[in-house]
């Protein structure tokens, strides 16, 4: 695996980081039993581990756990082992804030923030005056980092994804007429739709039909399917999560032509788990992502093999985001020579990281931009579109 950049590692840094220890808690990624508490650095994460969207939180948690295991085996951060505690938010913003408080009481010095955008926004606001760097692996809504100069993200933001999706359609000459289905009461979905719409206007792509649904109506897509079929397009943009997408695709099976694509963003990760009863339900699904498990890059293949060995599963983008996030926090702490959030925030803008989700640099607003590809699913297998 390509090792993430570590620019400063000296005796003074060891002393600085050693001051960050505390009592050993119950955690999901403990250091070895013989490690002294004062020689550990406590890292916290928050996300849904139960409920309809648990697959996202579990993926991030497992990716982070794998990175912690590797880093600890290689000597940790400046000789200190990492302890990881990952709290279940159940996808609820209030629960996420409570979890953040619990992690602070525990002695957390490095934070993986939260998995979802809504919970990330509340924790970012609550943490404004704390000297903790928050690095969300997957919180993608545009404005969730605002007001806290110590908040960053691994993933690209929604407006960037929506624009990239429109650009991708144009660059690959897929079609010049599309339709859209999005969730009108969910910021993630709305943000992607708005930026996709603007991207289509720039690229001369016509949006022939727009259909919406809400959290309360996500079980019956009959009306939307009929309207989308009548639009007679070759691509339907679906900036939604895997759970409602699986219901929509199940109900839509056989109603669209075999040459119609369903194109979504990172929220579609995990779709194959949701349609395991019939994997052909996801045929012709395109997903925009910076990570492909079948990439032949040496670092990606090393990560995939290690993840499969540890969890008997193939990692998705959320797992890759969690994995990269831990290595990024390590690099930032080493660059800063400290676990101070303010010092690490400054270090973040000076880093360049080659991770399994791509090459990353950060601006002071916490955002990063990186290349993306589209994965297409056929008969239960995902591969890079056009290859």
Whether residue 15 is found in the same domain as residue 150:
yes
**Of the residues 255, 289, 323, the one at which a domain ends:** 289
| Predicted confidence (pLDDT) per residue in 76-91, tens digit | 999 999 999 999 999 8
373 within some domain: no
Whether residue 279 is found in the same domain as residue 182:
yes
Locus of tokens 């990186």: 370
Q: Is the dihedral of CA 378, 384, 385, 386 positive or negative?
A: negative
Whether residue 190 is found in the same domain as residue 272:
yes
Whether residue 61 is found in the same domain as residue 104:
yes
Number of H helices, E strands in the chain: 12, 14
What's the average model confidence in pLDDT over 161-188? Answer: 95
Query: Which CATH number do you get for residue 112?
Result: 3.40.50.2300
Write out the two tokens for 15: 């002393």
What is the per-residue pLDDT for 292? Answer: 87
For residues 290 and 371, give the distance between their C-alpha atoms in angstroms, rounded to a whole number: 6
Residue 38 lies in domain: 11-156+296-360
Across the chain, mean pLDDT equals 90
Whether residue 196 is found in the same domain as residue 267:
yes
Residue 37 has pLDDT above 90, yes or no: no
Whether residue 258 is found in the same domain as residue 321:
no
- Residue 55, sorted as left (phi over 0), alpha (psi -120 to 50) or beta, turns out to be alpha
Write out the two tokens for 24: 């050993």
Higher pLDDT, 19 or 302: 302
pLDDT over 90 for what percent of the chain? 80
**Of the residues 226, 254, 289, the one at which a domain ends:** 289
Whether residue 195 is found in the same domain as residue 70:
no
What's the average model confidence in pLDDT over 288-310? Answer: 94
Whether residue 31 is found in the same domain as residue 105:
yes
93 within some domain: yes
CB 263 within 8 A of CB 374: yes
Total count of domains within the chain: 2
Closest alpha carbon to 263 in 205, 321, 308: 205
């Amino acid at each position: 695996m390509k090792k993430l950049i570590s620019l400063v590692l000296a005796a003074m840094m060891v002393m600085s980081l050693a001051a960050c220890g505390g009592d050993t808690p119950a955690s999901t990624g403990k250091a070895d039993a013989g490690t002294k508490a004062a020689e550990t650095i406590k890292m916290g994460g928050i996300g849904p581990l139960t409920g309809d969207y648990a697959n996202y939180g579990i993926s991030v948690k497992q990716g982070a756990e794998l990175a912690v295991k590797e880093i600890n085996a290689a000597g940790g951060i400046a000789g200190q082992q990492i302890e990881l505690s990952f709290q279940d938010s159940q996808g609820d913003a209030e629960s996420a804030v409570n979890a953040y408080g619990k992690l602070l009481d525990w002695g957390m010095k490095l934070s993986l923030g939260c998995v979802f955008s809504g919970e990330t926004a509340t924790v970012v606001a609550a943490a404004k005056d704390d000297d903790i760097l928050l690095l969300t692996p997957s919180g993608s809504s545009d404005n969730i980092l605002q007001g806290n100069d110590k908040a960053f993200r691994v993933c690209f933001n929604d407006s960037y994804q929506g624009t990239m999706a429109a650009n991708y359609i144009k660059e690959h000459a897929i079609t010049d007429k599309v339709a859209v289905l999005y969730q009108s009461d969910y910021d993630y979905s709305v943000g992607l739709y708005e930026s996709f719409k603007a991207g289509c206007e720039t690229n001369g792509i016509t949006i022939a039909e727009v259909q919406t649904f809400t959290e309360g109506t996500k079980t019956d897509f009959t009306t939307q399917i009929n309207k989308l079929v009548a639009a007679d397009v070759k691509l339907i943009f679906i900036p939604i999560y895997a759970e409602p997408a699986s219901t929509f695709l199940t109900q839509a099976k056989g109603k669209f032509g075999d040459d119609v694509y369903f194109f979504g963003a990172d929220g579609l990760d995990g779709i194959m788990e949701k349609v395991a009863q019939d994997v052909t339900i996801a045929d012709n699904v395109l997903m925009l992502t910076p990570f492909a498990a079948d990439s032949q890059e040496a670092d990606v293949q090393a990560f995939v093999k290690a993840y499969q060995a540890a969890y008997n599963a193939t990692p998705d983008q959320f797992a890759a985001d969690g994995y990269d996030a831990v290595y990024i926090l390590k690099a930032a702490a080493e660059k800063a020579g400290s676990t101070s959030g303010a010092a690490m925030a400054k270090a973040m803008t000076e880093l360049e990281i080659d991770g399994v989700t791509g090459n990353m640099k950060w601006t002071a607003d916490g955002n990063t931009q990186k290349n993306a590809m589209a994965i297409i699913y056929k008969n239960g297998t995902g591969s890079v579109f056009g290859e």
